[in-house]
Chains A and B, each alone.
Chain A
Amino acid sequence: MQRFLSSSPEETEQIAERLAKTLSGNEVIAMFGGLGAGKTAFTRGLARGLGAGDCVSSPTFALVNEYEGRFPIYHFDMYRVATYDDLYTTGFFDYLGSGIMVIEWSENIEGLLPDEKMTVTIRPVSEEQREITIEGAQTI
């Protein structure tokens, strides 16, 4: 388990960029943390670190965004996902193993996440500070 303290959105993105360097192409990254925690900010850094540029937008309505970096990146937002049927119809299970899956609001599908995964938990400490806990990843 690795723990970081971030003092700005930029710093959160940089931590994510460092994590991106350790990825091999088909990881599942489950992100936890409430509204405004910085999950989308973290994903923005991750995508940049994977060479996808500045392409990240929140997939709250689309459910999944796809970006092309060194590997395919599938960016999910499970905010509106409440049931197995919801999850099945996003095609979630079909994406497993075919690219890097970054999942915002993993709380909503915790029972259906694969065993093999990384978790990123972002906890607001103050207005500008975030405690970021990464589990299941190489040292970054």
Chain B
Amino acid sequence: MRILAIDTSACPVSAALMEDGFLLGEFFLNTKTTHSQTLMPIVESLLRAAAVDIKDIDVFAVNTGPGSFTGVRIGTASVKGLSMPLDKPCASVSTLEAMAYGLPYDSGIACAVMDARCSQVYNALFRLNGHEPERLTDDRAVSIEDLADELAGYSERIYLAGDGAELCARAFDGRLTNVVLPPQNIRYQHAYGTACAAQRLIRENRLLSSDALMPLYLRLPQAERELKKKQSGGKPDQ
């Protein structure tokens, strides 16, 4: 069973190749270049270097959200395009879950956070046990303040991951002493985590056809209020 996994959900872009649970190779780039320019060359060189033909891929996995509007669409559309002509199934992975799979800890809480702007983060919590992260919450949009309150209920170590990790670490500073900022190589989402999550989806028979693969979108109800508040409280002109 070969999985080709990709992630373009935020600033980094990565692709991973997994064979029967073994990570054959991974390509990670965190430059400012547009994913539409970097993703395909990355996938191509990864496959070429690993001497794997695209026709020998059994499952195409992708982080379908949450994430940046454009990024999530580039990833989803690319995997649709790769899988469709080969008639191979797709794995739709939560970016936040992929991050939790990337944290190699045998205990503690994974707190995946992506910056959604205006003091909000896309977040989910997982319990780490050295095997498969155990989901504690749905993927959701929360204010950093509400998240801090919720995390105060956990006494074990809390590992932050995602592009909102530094933001949260700063916001939590002095309040939550059990929060840890892991090293960069595991702090950001990697397609390795996407491939790991895809393995579970395969096992649970939850793969999708290329047609059914869609970007996932989380609403930010609080941000809507924020936008309106500033509007009415703003300049009185016109």
The answer to whether A88 touches B118 (Cβ under 8 A) is: no
Which listed residue, B70, B226, B234, B237, touches A112 by the CB 8 Å rule?
B226
Check: A98 CB closer than 8 A to any chain B CB: yes
Q: A85-B219, A94-B68 are in contact. Are A111 and B237 (CB under 8 A)?
A: no
The number of A-B residue pairs with CB atoms under 8 Å apart is 55
Which of chain A's residues have a CB closer than 8 A to the CB of B117?
93, 112
The answer to whether A32 touches B235 (Cβ under 8 A) is: yes
Check: B227 CB closer than 8 A to any chain A CB: yes
The SS class assigned to the A binding surface is helix
- Measured in the bound complex, the distance between the Cα atoms of B236 and A32 in whole Å is 12
The answer to whether B237 touches A34 (Cβ under 8 A) is: yes
Residue of A nearest to B120 (CB): A84
The answer to whether A93 touches B69 (Cβ under 8 A) is: yes
Check: A136 CB closer than 8 A to any chain B CB: no
Q: A34-B237, A112-B118, A112-B223 are in contact. Are A88 and B230 (CB under 8 A)?
A: no
Determine the interface band of chain B, counting residues with CB < 8 A from chain A.
Answer: 20 to 34
Tell me the smallest distance from the CB of A85 to a CB of chain B, in Å: 7
- Measured in the bound complex, the distance between the Cα atoms of B226 and A110 in whole Å is 9
Which of chain A's residues have a CB closer than 8 A to the CB of B234?
107, 110
- Measured in the bound complex, the distance between the Cα atoms of B58 and A12 in whole Å is 60
- Measured in the bound complex, the distance between the Cα atoms of B71 and A84 in whole Å is 17
The answer to whether B226 touches A88 (Cβ under 8 A) is: no
Check: A129 CB closer than 8 A to any chain B CB: no
Check: B204 CB closer than 8 A to any chain A CB: no
The answer to whether B230 touches A84 (Cβ under 8 A) is: no
The B67-92 residues at the A interface (CB cut-off 8 A) are 68-71
The answer to whether A84 touches B227 (Cβ under 8 A) is: yes
Q: A32-B235, A107-B235 are in contact. Are A97 and B69 (CB under 8 A)?
A: no
Which of chain A's residues have a CB closer than 8 A to the CB of B223?
84, 112
Which of chain A's residues have a CB closer than 8 A to the CB of B68?
91, 93-94
Which of chain B's residues have a CB closer than 8 A to the CB of A139?
none
Interface centre among A84, A87, A88, A97 (most CB of B within 10 A): A84
The answer to whether A84 touches B224 (Cβ under 8 A) is: yes
Which of chain B's residues have a CB closer than 8 A to the CB of A111?
118, 226-231
Can you sample 15 A-B contacts with CB below 8 Å? Answer: A83-B224, A83-B227, A84-B226, A84-B227, A85-B219, A85-B224, A87-B227, A88-B69, A88-B220, A91-B68, A94-B70, A98-B32, A107-B234, A107-B238, A112-B227
Which 6 pairs, one residue from A and one from B, show the smallest C-beta to C-beta distance? Answer: A111-B230, A84-B223, A34-B238, A94-B70, A111-B227, A110-B230
